[in-house]
A and B are shown apart, each in its own frame.
With several copies, the nearest count.
Chain A
Amino acid sequence: MAELTYREAVAAGIAQEMARDPNVVFLGEDVAAAGGVFKATVGLLEQFGPRRVRDTPISEQAILGAAMGAAMTGLRPIAEIMFSDFLAVCWDIVANEIAKTRYMTAGQVTLPLVIRTANGGGSRFGAQHSQSVENWAMAVPGLKVVAPSNPADVKGLLAAAIRDDDPVVFFEHKSLYAVKGEVPDGEHIERLGTAKVLRDGRDVTVLALAAMVPKALAAAERLAAEHRIEATVIDVRSLVPLDTETILREVVKTGRVATVEENPRLCGWGAEIASIVAEECFWDLDAPIVRITTPHVPLPSADNLEDATVPTVERIVATLRQAID
């Protein structure tokens, strides 16, 4: 096991797959010579050369269009959209072209490509560089959606996404790039569509994603230490496919469920899971389903405002205490 940062795990995952498969190529703005604005792709240009690792103009539609056209003709491109907020400038290519083309062509076209993007808040960048838009991607049929919470998952899930024959939107969380963690040596690959139970408790099942995972875990520790509430914590990891098997199994065990979402409230991923639980585990629930989300507002930039807007450990603790009382 080596200790890597989350950002190093990105480069490691890409490098693992580029070394393995010459059809894997990588493009984006400032990704090659500069190693990415988050320094998550440092070294790839040096290792794989300018033919495979390419800087582009500021042309997100061209970036994703190029990725799509290359994928449909035999390559396995990885495209970086620098901030997930910028998915909006190329949303047509994502939602209308990449997501739908296999279906519309009755399977004639296969699109093995990955869109990597830096998601989420915590950097005081303001409302146009801090969004959590994993729910935008989840809402579009034809996209797989992954959001890792730790370096090992970054490498393993990114590798899996690259090998997958379907388009995957891979949400890296900005505020986690500096986080360190153990990453298995040698080839490391995880399975898409699998959630992970990180903590076992009898009182409530807490579902979290990406940067909300460490917060949910911290809250669970506090609830146990201070309030004798034992929470199961699940890292959802993949929104599409969704590991309902694991989620529903754990919800049934505790009879209580809460989601911790960084996306703004309305139509967040937690709403979808809540609706599944409310339909399929209705008789197993002992209490209302609780959603802890960023309120339905754009993200403000000042330190204190941003910190208080995204779910905090304190808010998770307080909400769960109240829900369980």
Chain B
Amino acid sequence: MSPRTKTKATSGRNDDIGEATRLGLWRQCLEVRHLEKRAYDLFLQNLIKGTSHLSLGQEAVAAGFGVAMRKDDWSFCTYRGHAHTLVRGASMTGVLGELMGRECGLLGGKGGSMHLTSVEHGAMGSYAIIGAHLPIAIGAAWSAQYRGTDQVAVCFFGDGTTNIGAFHEALNMATVWTLPVVFVCENNLYMEYTPIGEVTAVEHPAADRAGAYGLPGIIVDGNDPDAVFRAAREALAKARAGEGPSLIEAKTYRHSGHSRADPGKYRPDEEVKAWLARDPIPMYRKRLLDFGVKEAVLDAIDAETRAAVDAATEAAKASPEPALAVIERDVWADGGASWRN
């Protein structure tokens, strides 16, 4: 099985992607970058409790899909899902508020960092138990197929997730039912602290398994927004055309530890250094400059996204704690929680 690598050379400002789309990618990368950094700061200030799993370093994957997806497509992601939720258009205040356990949070403080959801933006949930959302995503795809819309479900997960049973069941059924779903494995080389290579029978945990589901093995450079965007565009088109699922492995790296408290010390220094040198944000900035985009344009977007994060931070801080009454709300569709009459 030789996975085919999808990083076609980019040609220039007005190629198949074009400047406007690239600025969108740039903006989404920055939104994620700045928001995640802020989340980390707020955690250090003890304003974010619980856990949180940042996408620093992995921004290009969320952005590439975020820009390629249609508004009415659906996304499903993991506990490491701030990025994927944001790129669908969810409010920064809602995201930060939820991390801080405030009333303004996307989930009113009931879900927390690992469960960000914004149904109105098609962000159909962040799932904290490894693997579960892959079968759930195929259900959304089935629903689109059944109703004859051409919506697509996109499902993001990590390299470690490829070793759990639900991965296998979902991939098989997606092919058998020719479902419009795109599975995106963000291979950041590690589970929590264990290198994926130590616990996986194949080199490319997703791509080398694609054949087991009748799919081509696709690997993209997950640090290159253009590469991800192109792969996303192709897979989405395939799904929309009724040609079934895709499985894409995006190679990337997280800059910080697995979760809030983890300094990531288990990773060799040279490895970290090599990947920091491939930080998607300066790399993409350089490409855009090379293509002739004005520095001022890039910096303005940078400034705007920083300001947006600042404003969201203030709004979230100003939001009160949730009212205790919500504890017994919304177990059921009638809004309540009673299990007896």
Direct chain A–B contact by Cβ atoms under 8 Å: yes
A interface residue numbers (CB < 8 A to B): 25, 29-30, 33-34, 37, 51, 54-75, 77, 85-86, 88-89, 92-93, 96-97, 101-110, 112, 123-129, 141-142, 164-166, 193, 240-245, 265-266, 276, 295-298, 300-305, 308-309
> Which single residue of chain A is at the shortest CB-CB distance from B196?
A57
Q: How far is the CB of B222 from chain A (nearest CB, A)?
A: 20
Q: How far is the CB of B315 from chain A (nearest CB, A)?
A: 16
Cross-chain pairs A/B with CB under 8 angstroms, 23 sampled: A55-B194, A60-B169, A61-B169, A62-B135, A70-B143, A70-B146, A77-B139, A89-B130, A92-B129, A92-B131, A97-B133, A106-B329, A112-B333, A124-B50, A124-B112, A127-B111, A128-B128, A141-B337, A165-B334, A241-B338, A243-B340, A300-B109, A305-B322
Pick the residue among A72, A107, A125, A265 that contacts B50 (CB under 8 A).
Answer: A125
CB pair B330 A106 closer than 8 Å: yes
CB pair A124 B101 closer than 8 Å: yes
> Which single residue of chain A is at the shortest CB-CB distance from B153?
A69
Known: A69-B139, A89-B132, A243-B340. 14 other contacts (CB 8 A): A54-B177, A59-B165, A62-B170, A65-B135, A73-B144, A89-B165, A106-B111, A108-B117, A124-B51, A126-B128, A302-B110, A304-B324, A305-B110, A308-B324
Q: Which residues of A contact B198 (CB under 8 A)?
A: 55
B33 located at the interface, meaning its Cβ lies under 8 Å from any Cβ of chain A in the complex = no
Q: Summarize A's interface: helix, strand, loop or mixed.
A: loop
Q: How far is the CB of A21 from chain B (nearest CB, A)?
A: 13
CB pair B337 A66 closer than 8 Å: no
Q: Which residues of A contact B340 (CB under 8 A)?
A: 241-244, 276
> Which single residue of chain B is at the shortest CB-CB distance from A165?
B333
Q: Which residues of B contact A97 (CB under 8 A)?
A: 127, 129, 132-133, 136
A-binding segment of B118-126, B223-231, B277-285: B118-126
CB pair B138 A69 closer than 8 Å: yes
Pick the residue among A62, A68, A96, A295 that contacts B129 (CB under 8 A).
Answer: A96
> Which single residue of chain A is at the shortest CB-CB distance from B161?
A58
Complexed CA–CA distance, A141 and B102 (Å):
24
Interface of chain B residues 164 through 213 with chain A (CB within 8 A): 164-166, 169-170, 172-173, 176-177, 191-194, 198-200
B61 located at the interface, meaning its Cβ lies under 8 Å from any Cβ of chain A in the complex = no
Q: How far is the CB of A147 from chain B (nearest CB, A)?
A: 15
CB pair B191 A109 closer than 8 Å: no
B interface residue numbers (CB < 8 A to A): 49-51, 74, 76, 101-102, 105, 107-115, 117-120, 124-125, 127-144, 146-147, 153, 160-161, 163-166, 169-170, 172-173, 176-177, 191-194, 198-200, 266, 321-322, 324, 326-335, 337-341
CB pair B138 A29 closer than 8 Å: no
Q: How far is the CB of A44 from chain B (nearest CB, A)?
A: 15
Pick the residue among A59, A64, A123 that contacts B164 (CB under 8 A).
Answer: A59
CB pair B163 A58 closer than 8 Å: yes
CB pair B191 A29 closer than 8 Å: yes
Q: Which residues of A contact B124 (CB under 8 A)?
A: 69, 72-73, 109
